[in-house]
Structure 1
């Protein structure tokens, strides 16, 4: 596949920004998190995986960064704010880019989308990388509440809950407490991120699916659950999490046992954005997984 930037026109008329970097026979398509984040978290992947001969493709999902940003408040656009839409968008991106027997990596929301893709379109995958995402929202919600209770004082938690009930999310004290939690569990070492990293979020998209922040789960993803279907994903799968992830590691371990071919790895001193927090450890694990699958030496553990 040719490297560089390419603007795809979808069947619905909207345009998506895509970028392909690196050279090699291993094709890796990356799905950003959020929902509503952007492709820049993957800008350093090709360079970091250079010795593994990996070509990395990334794109901004509809509503995000360089891709078209429709007004989702309009009735005619609201049907795009669904999991089904973003899944069909991913398949159309795959088709337009001519990818087949490729590796799909998804971070956070992208990891949810990647699981859905593997269940519906698994015949196109050579491997799956689920990065900081579990197979249901309920256990995530329990875990983030437990993290908040263990990190903050009871009065601080009560204050946050009051702000959330009032939906007064711009409150400075509330935002300061969110920052404390983010630095502990989301991105512990933002200074280590790729120089191209841009911290933008498509607020309409994020708020619709998630809520105001990572520690409030009130969006439409609430109730998503693939625990009963996870065993149907048969491609070699890498489950990669940060040591201090917002996602429950007990659930990750259960996923490793449920999936027919799964390897679970943890990034030391990493949070939810562990590829940023500890790049050497993250890319060592990812590169090893890709090489093991390529050489038919993949083992689950």
Structure 2
């Protein structure tokens, strides 16, 4: 893919990869999810935003495939990742910019806005949560809505420690993933590349080892009580069929002082792929409304 790559050296001596695409006064830094995925599943942002004169920055978080991958569990905390985003901002020379975060990246974007919000012109939070315990509860509700025979078989495999088997993966994907993760007939190639390169150490330390339960370091993460402190124009967006509850997204937008929410009615967790026209139009409209000074709550 065309663009200008830049390696940024962090204060801890490790290096992270970034790539600029497009040219324009509106600058957006993208935070991928996972944690431990790659920027690759966000590649279609270039197709939709760059033609609108929007300058975007792909960024591979430390530990992910295109950046250094140290074997040091102490590095995998949301606080350190938040400070890393600030180092990347400084390294790229960004100021008065927009920060986009998807899923885990959305949680990271919330942390960044709370600590370094003075550098932000706007915030886009996509398919995320403000409370891991609430998300945990929702995941279990979604799991309990699966056919009883599927639940029973998955529980047997879990008890046997066979969650990494092909059978468990197929059950999880066919009955859960196809509805809540990506609703396309086949997974986009960019998404498959990103998933194939996930850093398992990071996701296991931060989220844990269970499929439908958060039991890692992030299990007690909660920012509901401080969302009102983010005085930055914000867009909170998701798909109606996301595995993150749409009602929670709308409540987040209500608590953020200067914000609007957008629900893509046919989208899932990867709404940028299964309902891209609606998804990106919401983002483009938000960016241009803020730039023109005509941003209004919706």
TM range (shorter): over 0.9
Query: What CA distance in whole angstroms lies between the structure 2 residues aligned with 1:190 and 1:32?
Result: 23
Higher mean C-alpha deviation, range 159-168 or range 267-276? 159-168
The reply on whether 1:103 has 2:92 as its aligned counterpart is no
Structure 2 length normalisation: TM-score?
0.93
Q: Is the 8 A contact 1:27 1:103 kept in 2?
A: yes
Of 127, 133, 141, the residue aligned with 2:136 is 141
Name 2:230's counterpart in structure 1. Answer: 233
The reply on whether 1:116 has 2:101 as its aligned counterpart is no
Higher mean C-alpha deviation, range 217-226 or range 236-245? 217-226
Q: Is the 8 A contact 2:40 2:190 kept in 1?
A: no
Matches within 5 A, 1:187-198: 187-189=182-184, 191=186, 193=188, 198=193
Query: What CA distance in whole angstroms lies between the structure 1 residues aligned with 2:185 and 2:130?
Result: 26
Query: What CA distance in whole angstroms lies between the structure 2 residues aligned with 1:54 and 1:9?
Result: 26
Deviation at 1:155, TM superposition (A): 3.6
Residues 192, 174 of structure 1: alpha-carbon distance in 2 compared, 3 angstrom cutoff: closer
Query: What CA distance in whole angstroms lies between the structure 2 residues aligned with 1:140 and 1:127?
Result: 25
Structure 1 length normalisation: TM-score?
0.92
Name 2:279's counterpart in structure 1. Answer: 282
Q: Is the 8 A contact 1:22 1:47 kept in 2?
A: no
Q: Is the 8 A contact 1:192 1:277 kept in 2?
A: no
CA RMSD of superposed structures (Å): 1.8
Residues 213, 35 of structure 1: alpha-carbon distance in 2 compared, 3 angstrom cutoff: farther
Name 2:216's counterpart in structure 1. Answer: 219
SS of the residue corresponding to residue 193 of structure 2 reads: coil
Name 1:20's counterpart in structure 2. Answer: 20
Query: What CA distance in whole angstroms lies between the structure 2 residues aligned with 1:214 and 1:91?
Result: 31
Name 2:261's counterpart in structure 1. Answer: 264
Query: What CA distance in whole angstroms lies between the structure 2 residues aligned with 1:46 and 1:112?
Result: 23
Deviation at 1:49, TM superposition (A): 1.5
SS of the residue corresponding to residue 49 of structure 1 reads: helix
Name 2:77's counterpart in structure 1. Answer: 82
Superimposed CA distance per residue, residues 153-192 of structure 1 (whole angstroms, 9 cap, x where no aligned partner): 2242233234335543223322111112111101112747
Deviation at 1:37, TM superposition (A): 0.6
Query: What CA distance in whole angstroms lies between the structure 1 residues aligned with 2:131 and 2:31?
Result: 18
Query: What CA distance in whole angstroms lies between the structure 2 residues aligned with 1:196 and 1:182?
Result: 13
Count matched residues. 293
Residues 117, 11 of structure 1: alpha-carbon distance in 2 compared, 3 angstrom cutoff: same
Query: What CA distance in whole angstroms lies between the structure 1 residues aligned with 2:45 and 2:105?
Result: 16
Superimposed CA distance per residue, residues 100-120 of structure 1 (whole angstroms, 9 cap, x where no aligned partner): 110000000000000000001
Q: Is the 8 A contact 1:149 1:157 kept in 2?
A: yes
Higher mean C-alpha deviation, range 48-57 or range 223-232? 48-57
Higher mean C-alpha deviation, range 129-138 or range 212-221? 212-221
Deviation at 1:213, TM superposition (A): 6.8
Of 126, 145, 156, the residue aligned with 2:150 is 156
Query: What CA distance in whole angstroms lies between the structure 2 residues aligned with 1:285 and 1:194?
Result: 24
SS of the residue corresponding to residue 283 of structure 1 reads: helix
The reply on whether 1:32 has 2:32 as its aligned counterpart is yes
SS of the residue corresponding to residue 244 of structure 1 reads: coil
Q: Any unmatched runs of 5+ in structure 2?
A: none
